[in-house]
Structure formats: structure tokens, C-alpha cells
Amino acid sequence: MIDRSIATTTHGRYLTLPAVAARPAGLLVGFHGYGEGAESQLQRLRAIHGSDRWTLVAIQGLHRFYQRRTNEVIASWMTRQDRELAIADNLAYVEGVVDVVSRESPAISRLVFAGFSQGVAMAFRAACATLRRVDGIIAVGGDVPPEIGADALARVRSALVCHGERDEWYTTDKFQHDVTRIRQSGAAVHPVIFEGGHEWSETVLEKAAAFLRDLPERP
């Protein structure tokens, strides 16, 4: 048996919510967790105080499937099968979405990626691969991919990294390791430990609002 791969064309789905301001504060791009859809991440972004000043985009993973109990369509970003090819597909997909939204909203100046759980890895990969300037990352309950080196991480100017004390998946050790990696790359890192588990908590919402508010304006 010969196991081979072939490139093909598929369609991705994303949701947008324009800023209420005539001149948006920036573009806030969200990545959902495993077994969720774009709606879940858009809801998280909308819950951040002040996010209505930003153009919001929630990108859905290319790999869709049905939630067995509810028959709801959900998605994931990748599996270990053909992992490197899936990463390349996802990066091209995200770049395409940001291209389209940026053309439709030319007033947008700042760019922030926000991921939850499995979406954190996607947020970091996209931020480190794009040729655009990335002003920040909001990472909740997920780790920085091991293949991203210090030079690439340094392209992320500032990162809010959040960890729930009772999170059994994104453990304290992983959290501390990520904070150290980001700090050693030279990027600014804002670590947050909150009371809770694997969740986008009220504390996360408060810290994310402050993080977005305090991002410096571009010259």
C-alpha cells in the first residue's frame, strides 16, 4: 500500500461582525476550540467589554463533523494525520480570510488573534506566519505549538496567556513553559491565572478587555 496526498480545493466558513465605530479600533480574529463552531468563538469575542469597537471575525476549522448527541455541525483544526499539510492549509485559509476582511474594511489598523483551547495553537501559528504586523494574541486554555521558534514568536508583539487553576488539559506546567518561551523570545507576555477550569471565564473577559484597551495605537 502506498499512502499519498493530493492538494484539493475546499471552502471555509467564517463569521464577521463590523465595528460600531466608523473607524474600527482594529481587527480581532478568533479561533474556536475542538468540537465547536465559529459561533462559539464569536460569542466569546462579543462578550469582551469594548469589543464592539473592533471588527470581529470568527474563523471555523476546515474539518467539519456532526456532534453525535445533538447533530450540530462542529469542527476541528486538524488531527495528527497529515498534520504538516493541514497546518499549511489552515495558514493559507486564515491569510485568505484576513485578506478579504481587510479589503472590505480598509480603515482597520491593528490586528489581534484570539484563540481558545485547540484554537490557541492556530492563533499562534497564524500570527507567526503572516507577513502582516500582529499587535497581540489572546490565548486561553491552549499551548504554543512546539515547532514555533523564538524568532517567530518574537513577531508577536504582546500576548495575553490565560490558565485556569483546575484546567486538566492546559496544565500549570504547560502554562509556565509557554510564558517562559514567549518572554525569552522578547515579546511582551501578560500571564493570567484564574479560578476555574478549561473555560473562557469572567476573569478572562476582564483581562482581555484591558489588554485590547491598552494596546498602543500604530503610528
Residue 4 lies in a domain: no
Mean pLDDT over 94-115 rounds to 92
Label residue 218 by pLDDT band (50, 70, 90). Answer: confident
Q: How far apart are CA 113 and CA 92, in angstroms?
A: 15
Label residue 136 by pLDDT band (50, 70, 90). Answer: very high
Query: Based on the structure, what is the number of domains in the chain?
Result: 1
Q: How far apart are CA 207 and CA 25, in angstroms?
A: 17
Of 44-48, 112-116, 207-211, 214-218, which range is least confident?
Answer: 214-218
Q: How far apart are CA 160 and CA 158, in angstroms?
A: 7
Mean pLDDT for all residues in the chain: 95
pLDDT value for 109: 86
Mean pLDDT over 183-195 rounds to 97
Q: How far apart are CA 215 and CA 6, in angstroms?
A: 42
Residue 187 lies in a domain: yes
pLDDT digits (tens, 9 = 90+) for 4-28: 999 999 999 999 999 998 889 999 9
Residue 119 lies in a domain: yes
Q: How far apart are CA 165 and CA 21, in angstroms?
A: 37
Q: Give, in degrees to the nearest 5, the angle at Cα 92 between 145 and 86.
A: 55
pLDDT digits (tens, 9 = 90+) for 64-86: 999 988 999 999 999 999 999 99
pLDDT > 90? residue 185: yes
DSSP state of 168: S
Residue 49 lies in a domain: yes
Residue 219 lies in a domain: no
Q: What is this structure's pTM?
A: 0.95
pLDDT value for 76: 95
pLDDT > 80? residue 106: no
Q: How far apart are CA 201 and CA 116, in angstroms?
A: 11
Q: What percent of the chain is modeled with pLDDT above 90?
A: 89
Q: Which residue has the higher pLDDT, 105 or 143?
A: 143
Domain that holds residue 133: 15-214
Residue 1 lies in a domain: no
Residue 120's domain is classified under what CATH number? 3.40.50.1820
Q: Which residue has the higher pLDDT, 69 or 197?
A: 197
Mean pLDDT over 33-42 rounds to 97
Residue 216 burial (C-beta neighbours within 10 Å; 0-12, 13-18, 19+): exposed
Residue 3 lies in a domain: no
pLDDT value for 77: 95
Q: How far apart are CA 77 and CA 28, in angstroms?
A: 19
C-alpha closest to that of 57 among 113, 132, 123: 113
Phi, psi (deg, nearest 5) at residue 108: -70, 130
